[in-house]
């Protein structure tokens, strides 16, 4: 099972009584769920140990224990290839007794590590050259290349394909003549292919060579990588050669070929591998290679013997591999390839630990990875290409030794690798790089009051905990004392971000409180789709659209070749028209939801994604998540009446989602869904900037909407690809802020300023109650309100006048009494206005009139205020003459005879609700 599922089981059964042994594999990945799980298990181990001791004592004393109550000690095994043991062994809050450590030798073949002499900025160009060099000069075997992201994978994949086609077009040289003689192998080519120095002096020079520049440019140098005239047979120059080291998965164990006489040994080895020597020494290597065999490259078990072939190898079978690929395309790397071809897999770090590709002999490691970093102070995410950790480098090298001895070519120098500030020992845990609001909510739900005291393997930063509590308070999951509210308890039931669960629960709450929506099931379906869509960073991916990620994901667009730029331009123009069919101008999330609905209703989803340039795997995962969320809503409806869905079952919602003739939500339905999104991202509000003051000349040229975030001073931008960008609204909320060349908002939804009072009141500052406009009574809510002026966020944005419930009891009673006499509470009194001896507004002033003082005094007799319609109903049920003389005193003498009939009608009307008393004012919404 996944770590997330086990965490959910802990919420219902803290002691995990059904488990005796739990194994956590791949613990080195340090995901957020894994860290929480390790902390929880460390507590469960102690509790179960104590309960087990007490239970055994009872058994020894002769007491009987029911079989279902029997409990055993819990055993936990953490498994990892490159675990940072220090953080687990030395953390006494985690484990009071240091757990034993068992090291199991890796069952893999030896891998030879090669460093370059210098670290080049254009690592993609170096990877391209290295792959072609290996293909030209080294024995058969698959090549695995590690790059940082999908666009780099696609770029290098296409470039290698073009090189392979040009190579096939060349006529290969025949090896040997009719008599079977073979040409001599060039010694220089052997050294270049294996990256071996000819002299010890060169080797020493590499060890102490300077790294050069610390910062690298992800862009590709056009001169070195984009020149289509570059020969695919070019090899690395001498200044790129480096020392090589034999290694297992744990790191280098001995130096390789350091002396001059090694050249003859290597040459003989290459001849043996290629089948040039006439000796028959192609025995298979066993899994337990001795140290002598590992250090001797001439060992015939290094590779299977191959038959004589052409000097120029066959074509390259180049395959891309990244996380968001459709499964059918990912599986191609496991299929066999035709004889005479060489497999080349260009992959992201998904191939680092998640899978083992058969037949890989050579690994080309750029030493780079793309990481999504999160700034807890600003709430801004950024995609950065940075150096990997030494643990990751070891994992990558190990990919070459899974099915046989191999080589790993690191496209960086040994000097650079030795710098801890560039290559740390381990990658930073996920808990340090992402928001922890979901973590805090989960721990609070598990009755852990002081989250900072939880035994994390690596504790989160204090500022991230502060940000998480502030976020949960804004979302109304925590109260002012940091205790869970009813909303927070319901949010914790959903295995997703608190923001997404707040969206769903808000929609359910609104639909339950506002009757009359004929398409309630359709709205709920759209809400689950919006929550699903906002759960993916690239949830609506148009091929070729570079707006969703940093341009650090690949080569600089300025260096792209002309054909690629034309292709991208043509593709964008082709999908611009069909994309408008999905557009809902008020929200990106609803636009994605509409696309998802069309995807699910299509007869051929694959063809649909191809036609509209949508990402098939993303759409499939969004669809699965939407259905899962819908099932969770009905599952939790059984145990939580406040947020229970009472308008149909799962099948009813699915039927409404698929069968409605009007595919898009109506305007009022859009507003309702917008309120749900606003509630979930209420602390990520931005206001449109209408002036150019303070902007640089470069920023003024940007063709994008300019906004100011409620928590930032810098200008942020609404990208032109956003659905909301057609008519930029005054206020928006955004799901994420990503910093590329500029800070762009993603997942944007327009909001009504009035929603901010309701869903982000903790960020508003209100004035004292205003007398103009006058306070009033709201019959639907049966409550009195006053108007206030307000400002929002630390930027003091002025919001429209807003009404709030009156807190002062005396003032509240005055306003209700005035509304009662005006007929705003019971409509029968409206026709009696001409009977009154004094204006009802006299109640709002000083109590100078006797009838004013008598009425107000009577309405608060016994310490209870009769300031609501239902309070009058309760009072009249026990005393029908309550307020009779006080209200009669407001009637002129000549109309006293008609007061009795009005009094009887008042008793009849008080039984009804507000929407029944004022049907025209609260007419049901027709759908």
CATH code of 477's domain: 1.20.120.1080
Instruction: Specify whether 797 is located in the same domain as 815.
Output: no
Q: In this structure, is residue 434 part of a structural domain?
A: no
Same domain, 520 and 571: yes
The token duo for 223 is 């001169």
**Do 463 and 601 belong together in one domain?**
yes
CATH number at residue 117: 3.40.50.300
- In this prediction, residue 769 carries a pLDDT of 92
* Joined tokens for residue 755: 């929603």
Q: For residue 253, tell me if it sits in a domain.
A: yes
Closest CA to 625 of 596, 659, 584: 596
Q: How many CA atoms lie within 13 A of 439 on its CB side?
A: 28
Query: Where does a domain end: 779, 804, 829?
Result: 804
What's the mean per-residue pLDDT of the chain?
Answer: 79
| 402 vs 357: CA distance, rounded Å | 8
142 in Cβ contact with 131 (< 8 Å)? no
The answer for residues whose C-beta is within 8 angstroms of residue 922's C-beta and 6 or more apart is 779, 780, 914, 915
Same domain, 312 and 325: yes
Asked if residue 265 is part of any domain, the answer here is: yes
Same domain, 799 and 712: yes
612 and 496 within one domain? yes
Q: Does the reported pTM lie above 0.85?
A: no
- Residues 732, 814, single domain; the answer is no
Q: Which residue has the tokens 């109309």?
A: 895
Residue 835: inside a domain: yes
Residue numbers in the chain where pLDDT is lower than 50: 171-312, 542-560, 924-927
In a domain, 179, yes or no: no
pLDDT at position 819: 94
DSSP-derived letter for residue 99 is P
**Domains held by the chain: number:** 5
Residues 779 and 815 in one domain: no
In a domain, 877, yes or no: yes
Helices (H), 701-835: 753-759, 809-822
Q: Please state, as a whole number, how many other Cβ atoms lie within 10 Å of the Cβ of residue 303.
A: 21
Residue 169 has a pLDDT of 66
Long-range contacts, stretch 48-52, CB < 8 angstroms, 24+ apart: 48/15, 48/72, 48/73, 48/74, 49/73, 49/74, 51/15
End position of a domain, from candidates 804, 820, 836: 804
Structure tokens at 644: 């229970």
Question: What integer pLDDT is reported at residue 243 of this predicted model?
Answer: 45
| CA-to-CA separations, 921 to 509, 759, 792, 917, in angstroms, rounded | 22, 25, 31, 9
Domain that holds residue 791: 705-804
Question: Which residue from 816, 813, 814 is spatially nearest to 824, judged by alpha carbons?
Answer: 816
- What are the tokens at 672? 């309702």
Cα distances (angstroms) measured from residue 363 to each of 80, 141, 304, 329: 22, 10, 18, 21
Question: Which of 758, 783, 804 is the C-terminal boundary of a domain?
Answer: 804
Q: Is 24 part of a structural domain of the chain? A: yes
134 shares a domain with 228: yes
> CA end-to-end span of the chain, whole Å?
44
- CA separation for the pair 478, 488 (Å, rounded): 6
For 359-393, give one letter per residue: b (16+ CB within 10 A) or e. Answer: bbbbbbbbbbbbbeebebebbbbbbebbbbbbbbb
SS3 819: helix
Smallest CA-to-CA distance from 619 within 525, 524, 542 is with 542
Task: Kindly state whether residues 731 and 816 are assigned to the same domain.
Answer: no
Picking from 698, 734, 701, 729, the residue whose alpha carbon sits closest to that of residue 716 is 734
Residues 85 and 125 in one domain: no
pLDDT digit string, tens, across residues 137-186: 899 999 999 999 889 999 999 999 998 888 776 644 444 343 333 444 44
Residues 6+ away with beta carbon under 8 Å from 56: none
Give the tokens for residue 564. 């690629």
Four-residue CA torsion sign, 551, 543, 537, 743: positive
103 within a domain of the structure (yes/no): no
Same domain, 189 and 263: yes
């Amino acid at each position: 099972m996944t770590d997330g599922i086990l965490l959910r089981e802990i919420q219902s059964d803290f002691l995990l009584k059904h488990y005796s042994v739990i194994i956590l594999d791949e613990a080195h990945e340090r995901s957020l769920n894994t860290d929480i799980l390790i902390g929880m298990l460390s507590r469960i181990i102690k509790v179960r140990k104590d309960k087990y001791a007490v239970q055994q004592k009872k058994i020894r004393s002769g007491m009987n224990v029911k079989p279902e109550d029997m409990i055993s000690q819990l055993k936990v095994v953490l498994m990892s290839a490159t675990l940072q043991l220090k953080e687990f062994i030395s953390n006494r809050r985690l484990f009071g007794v240091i757990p034993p450590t068992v090291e199991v030798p890796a069952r893999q073949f030896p891998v030879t590590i090669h460093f370059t002499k210098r670290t080049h900025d254009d690592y993609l160009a170096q990877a391209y050259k290295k792959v072609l060099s290996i293909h030209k000069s080294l024995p058969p075997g698959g090549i695995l290349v590690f790059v940082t992201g999908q666009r780099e994978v696609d770029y290098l994949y296409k470039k290698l394909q073009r090189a392979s086609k040009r190579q096939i077009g060349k006529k290969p040289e025949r090896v040997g003549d009719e008599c079977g003689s073979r040409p001599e192998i060039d010694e220089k080519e052997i050294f270049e292919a294996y990256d071996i120095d000819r002299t010890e002096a060169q080797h020493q020079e590499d060890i102490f060579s300077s790294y050069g520049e610390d910062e690298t440019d992800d862009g590709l140098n056009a001169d070195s990588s984009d020149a289509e005239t570059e020969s695919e047979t070019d090899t690395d120059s001498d200044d790129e050669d480096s020392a090589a080291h034999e290694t297992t998965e744990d790191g280098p164990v001995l130096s390789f070929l350091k002396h001059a006489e090694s050249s003859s040994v290597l040459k003989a080895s290459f001849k043996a591998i290629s089948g040039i020597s006439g000796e028959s020494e192609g025995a298979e290597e066993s899994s337990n290679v001795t140290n002598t065999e590992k250090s001797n490259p001439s060992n015939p078990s290094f590779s299977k013997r191959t038959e004589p072939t052409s000097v120029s190898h066959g074509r390259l079978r180049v395959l891309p591999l990244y996380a968001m690929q459709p499964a059918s395309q990912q599986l191609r790397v496991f299929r066999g390839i035709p004889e005479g071809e060489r497999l080349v897999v260009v992959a992201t770090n998904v191939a680092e630990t998640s899978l083992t590709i058969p037949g890989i002999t050579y690994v080309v490691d750029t030493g780079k990875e793309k990481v999504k970093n999160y700034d807890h102070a600003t709430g801004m995410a950024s995609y950065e290409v940075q150096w990997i950790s030494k643990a990751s480098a070891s994992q990558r090298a190990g990919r070459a030794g899974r099915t046989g001895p191999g080589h790993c070519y690191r496209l960086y120098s040994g000097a650079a690798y030795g710098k801890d500030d560039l290559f740390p020992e381990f990658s930073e845990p996920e808990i340090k790089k992402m928001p922890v609001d979901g973590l805090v909510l989960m721990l609070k739900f598990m009755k852990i009051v002081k989250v900072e005291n939880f035994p994390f393997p690596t504790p989160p930063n204090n500022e991230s905990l502060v940000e998480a509590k502030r976020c949960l308070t804004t979302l109304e999951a925590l109260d002012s004392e940091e205790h869970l509210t009813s909303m927070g308890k319901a949010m914790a039931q959903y295995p997703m971000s608190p923001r997404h669960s707040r969206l769903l629960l808000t929609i359910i709450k609104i639909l339950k409180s506002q009757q009359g929506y004929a398409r309630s099931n359709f709205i709920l379906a759209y809400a689950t789709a919006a929550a699903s869509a906002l759960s993916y960073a690239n949830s609506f991916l148009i091929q070729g659209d570079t707006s969703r990620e940093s341009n650090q994901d690949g080569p600089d667009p300025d260096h792209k070749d002309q054909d690629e730029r034309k292709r991208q331009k043509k593709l964008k123009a082709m999908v611009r028209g069909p994309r408008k069919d999905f557009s809902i101008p008020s929200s990106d999330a609803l636009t994605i939801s509409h696309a998802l609905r069309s995807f699910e209703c299509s007869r051929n989803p694959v063809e649909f994604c191809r036609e509209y340039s949508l990402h098939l795997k993303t759409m499939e995962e969004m669809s699965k998540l939407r259905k899962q969320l819908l099932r969770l809503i009905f599952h939790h409806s059984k145990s939580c009446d406040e947020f229970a869905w009472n308008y149909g079952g799962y099948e009813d919602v699915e039927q409404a989602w698929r069968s409605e003739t009007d595919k898009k939500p109506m305007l009022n339905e859009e507003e309702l869904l917008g309120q749900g999104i606003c509630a979930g991202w209420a602390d990520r509000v931005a206001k449109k900037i209408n002036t150019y003051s303070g902007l640089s000349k470069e920023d003024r040229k940007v063709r994008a909407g300019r906004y100011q975030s409620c928590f930032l001073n810098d200008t942020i931008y609404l990208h032109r690809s956003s659905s909301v960008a057609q008519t930029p609204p005054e206020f928006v909320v955004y799901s994420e802020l990503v910093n590329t060349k500029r800070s762009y908002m993603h997942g944007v939804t327009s909001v009504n300023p009035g929603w901010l009072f309701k869903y982000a009141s903790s960020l508003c500052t209100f004035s004292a109650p205003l007398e103009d406009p006058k306070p009033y009574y709201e019959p639907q809510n049966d409550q009195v309100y006053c108007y206030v002026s307000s400002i929002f966020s630390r930027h003091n944005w002025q919001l429209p006048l807003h009404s709030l419930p009156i807190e002062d009891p005396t003032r509240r009673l005055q306003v209700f009494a005035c509304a009662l006499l005006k007929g705003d509470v019971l409509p029968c009194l409206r026709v009696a206005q001409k009977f009154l001896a004094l204006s009802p507004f006299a109640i709002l002033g000083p109590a100078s009139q006797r009838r004013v003082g008598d009425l107000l005094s009577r309405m608060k007799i016994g310490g209870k205020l009769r300031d609501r319609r239902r309070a009058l109903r309760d009072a009249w049920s026990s005393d029908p003459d309550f307020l009779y003389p006080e209200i009669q005193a407001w009637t002129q003498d000549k109309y006293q005879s008609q007061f009795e009939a009005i009094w009887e009608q008042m008793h009849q009307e008080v039984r009804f609700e507000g929407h029944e008393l004022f049907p025209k004012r609260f007419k049901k919404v027709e759908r």
